[in-house]
Amino acid sequence: MHYTTLVQAVYYAPRGGQRLMHLGMLIAQRYLRAEDRLIGVVGDAGAGKSLLIRGMFPGLVLTNDDDGVNVRPLPVLEDAESDHFRTHTYHLDVRFEMAFSPLWKLAEAVKKAVSGGHRVVVEHFELLYPLLNLNAEVLIGVGEEVVVTVPTLFGPFPTEIAQQAFDSIIYRKMAHSAEDITSVVMKEMGFEVPTIHSDVKHGFVLEFTEKPKIDLVEVERRVWEYIEQDLPISYFNDNAILIGDEQWKCSGPRLHLASTGEIENFRLEKEFQYSPITKTYLLAGRIGK
């Protein structure tokens, strides 16, 4: 039997719940086999791991999600203790469960479920791996990018993928916050903000069906005014954030910096780029190095 070894697949980590779930669906279709039993997901809090998992496994009950829904007792732990596994796929958020159970107990439950032919999807997999001593069959890191690997005995290992995710998540938060502030400024200048978004490394892209007649130097200057005011950015609801005291629509309200002043080295490209394929005009904003 021949297996194709996937070294690494890398996607831009999209901002917004629907786009993240859609990417999760694509990852499941492309890289998940029916017989895979241990799925590891790593990344910082708020990176979008739960949304990605929802896209990969529609209908899976997440034991701890962003809406504060906490399933007690933990199904995989309860079923392992009773020696009766009731479902095919289980979910486990290691960082959350560490408040209730020791790691060794969680590791034993996961090993028991996996050896019995059940699937376990583990968030913060790098925390459990040292006691589990068993690598995931599909390992996913969520930072500025979504990295998908199918490890062999020789790696990659969870700590490597986790470090990559933790180191890069700050750029995704910066880009998202800068993108929303740019949209706010354009609205203040009387221009409709596009609903089409795409990605670029250390930045964002807005797509327009018609080329706006707008002074991009002035847009950049006004964004810098928001940055220099160091206004707090906070979650308001699933569709909106607060920048200072003002409420603004946002499709990914949990993925932001704490304040506008944390955005580093913001700059706008000073020309719109035309895409003859999509027939759209693209505006790129950059952050960081």
Q: What is the mean pLDDT of residues 6-22?
A: 87
Distance set, CA 86 to CA 54, 79, 83, 113, 118 (Å)? 20, 7, 10, 10, 10
**CB of 149 within 8 A of CB of 120?**
no
Residue 148 host element (H or E): strand 145-149
Tell me the three state secondary structure of residue 67: coil
Distance set, CA 230 to CA 165, 227, 267, 268, 288 (Å)? 26, 5, 17, 19, 17
pLDDT one-digit tens code per residue, 60-88: 989 876 555 677 789 999 999 999 999 99
Q: What pLDDT score does 266 carry? A: 98
Q: What is the mean pLDDT of residues 26-31?
A: 95
Q: What pLDDT score does 4 carry? A: 66
pLDDT one-digit tens code per residue, 181-228: 999 999 999 987 776 777 888 999 999 999 999 999 999 999 999 999
- Maximum Cα–Cα distance across the chain: 67
Q: What pLDDT score does 238 carry? A: 83
- What is the C-alpha to C-alpha distance for residues 61 and 5, in angstroms, rounded to an integer? 30
Q: Is the pLDDT of residue 140 over 70?
A: yes
Which residue ranges form the domains of the chain, and what is each CATH number?
9-156 (3.40.50.300), 171-286 (3.30.980.10)
Q: What pLDDT score does 152 carry? A: 87
Structure tokens at 11: 């996607």
Q: What pLDDT score does 153 carry? A: 85
Q: What is the mean pLDDT of residues 160-172?
A: 93
Distance set, CA 238 to CA 33, 46, 114 (Å)? 32, 13, 35
| Alpha helix positions (H), 189-249 | 216-229
pLDDT grade for 254, boundaries at 50, 70 and 90: confident
pTM of the model: 0.88
pLDDT one-digit tens code per residue, 115-127: 999 999 999 999 9
